[in-house]
C-alpha cells in the first residue's frame, strides 16, 4: 500500500512507489547481483539475463510494503500474506497449552507462496508472552501435518485484559530459516512486524473460543490488514464449515 509523500497536501491522493526491501534480504540481493555481474563479464549473456531475473525475484521476495491496520481491540488481523488453505477445529499445540489453555481452537492456516510478501505481523496488540522455536522437517507447508512435523516457531500475544491469541510460523519445502524480530516480554502494536520465513511457508492462527473466522477457504489475506476474526463474535462468513 502506498503512503503519502511528505509534501502531499491532504486530499491530493497518494503516489505509488516500490516497496522497500527488508534488511534481512539485502545481503541475498547483493550476492545475486554480484553473481550476475561476474557471469556477464565472463560473457555468458543468456545466463546473466537469467540471474538478473533471480536478483529481481530476491528483491521482490523480501519486499516490505507499508500496511494500514484496522484499529479495534476486538479485531484479530491476518499475520501473513497468502491464501487460506485450512480452517479446522483443533487442540492447541502442546507448546502453547500453558498459555492458551486446554480445549479446541479454530485454526486458520495461511499459505505463503514464494511470490507472497514474507514479513509476518502480530494479529493483535499486547505483550509477547511466549516465543517457542521447534526444529523439524521441511514438508510441504500446505499439508495438514506440517503443523506438527515441520520446523516452526510459536507465539502467544496477550492483550491488556488478558485475552490471548496464539500463532505459528511454519517453514516449508524451500524455507530453511525462521527469523524472529521480537522476544518474550516485548510490547507490540497490532500489525507490527514480528518476523519472516525464507522462502515459502505458512502461518497458523489459533482463534480463541467463541470467535469465528471472518475469512473463507481460498481467500487471499493481506498481512496487517485482512480481518481474521472478532473477539467474541461467533458468526462465520458464508462458505465456512468447521
Point out the residues that are catalytic.
201
Residue among 3, 27, 38 at smallest CA distance from 17: 3
Q: What is the DSSP letter of 230?
A: E
C-alpha dihedral sign at 72, 74, 78, 79: positive
How far apart are alpha carbons 143 and 156 in whole angstroms?
23
Residue 189: which H helix or E strand, with range? none
How far apart are alpha carbons 32 and 8 in whole angstroms?
36
Residue 126's Cα: distance from chain center in Å?
Answer: 18
Q: CA angle 124-127-131, nearest 5°? A: 95
Dihedral, 132, 136, 142, 143 alpha carbons, nearest 10: -110
Is the Cβ–Cβ distance between 83 and 219 less than 8 Å? yes
How far apart are alpha carbons 222 and 149 in whole angstroms?
26
How far lies 68's CA from each of 19, 44, 222, 223, in Å? 14, 44, 10, 10
Amino acid at each position: 500500500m502506498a503512503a503519502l509523500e511528505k509534501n502531499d497536501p491532504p486530499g491530493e491522493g497518494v503516489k505509488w512507489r516500490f516497496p522497500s526491501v527488508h534488511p534481512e534480504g539485502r545481503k541475498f540481493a547483493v550476492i545475486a547481483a554480484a553473481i550476475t555481474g561476474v557471469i556477464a563479464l565472463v560473457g555468458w549473456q543468456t545466463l546473466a539475463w537469467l540471474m538478473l531475473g533471480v536478483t529481481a525475484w530476491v528483491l521482490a521476495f523480501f519486499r516490505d510494503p507499508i500496511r494500514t491496520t484496522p484499529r479495534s481491540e476486538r479485531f484479530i488481523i491476518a499475520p501473513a500474506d497468502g491464501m487460506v488453505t485450512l480452517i479446522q477445529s483443533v487442540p492447541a499445540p502442546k507448546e502453547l497449552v500453558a498459555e492458551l489453555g486446554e480445549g479446541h481452537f479454530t485454526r486458520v492456516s495461511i499459505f505463503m507462496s514464494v511470490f507472497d510478501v514474507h514479513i509476518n505481523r502480530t494479529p493483535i496488540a499486547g505483550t509477547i508472552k511466549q516465543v517457542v522455536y521447534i526444529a523439524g522437517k521441511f514438508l510441504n507447508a500446505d499439508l495438514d501435518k506440517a503443523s506438527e512435523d515441520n520446523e516452526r516457531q510459536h507465539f502467544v500475544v496477550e492483550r491488556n485484559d488478558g485475552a490471548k491469541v496464539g500463532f505459528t510460523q511454519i517453514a516449508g519445502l524451500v524455507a530453511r530459516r525462521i527469523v524472529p524480530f521480537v522476544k518474550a516480554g516485548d510490547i507490540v502494536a497490532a500489525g507490527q512486524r514480528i518476523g519472516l520465513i525464507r522462502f515459502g511457508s505458512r502461518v497458523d492462527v489459533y482463534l480463541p473460543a467463541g470467535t469465528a473466522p471472518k475469512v473463507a477457504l481460498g481467500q487471499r489475506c493481506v498481512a496487517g490488514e485482512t480481518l481474521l476474526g472478532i473477539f467474541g463474535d461467533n458468526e462465520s462468513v458464508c462458505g465456512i464449515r468447521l
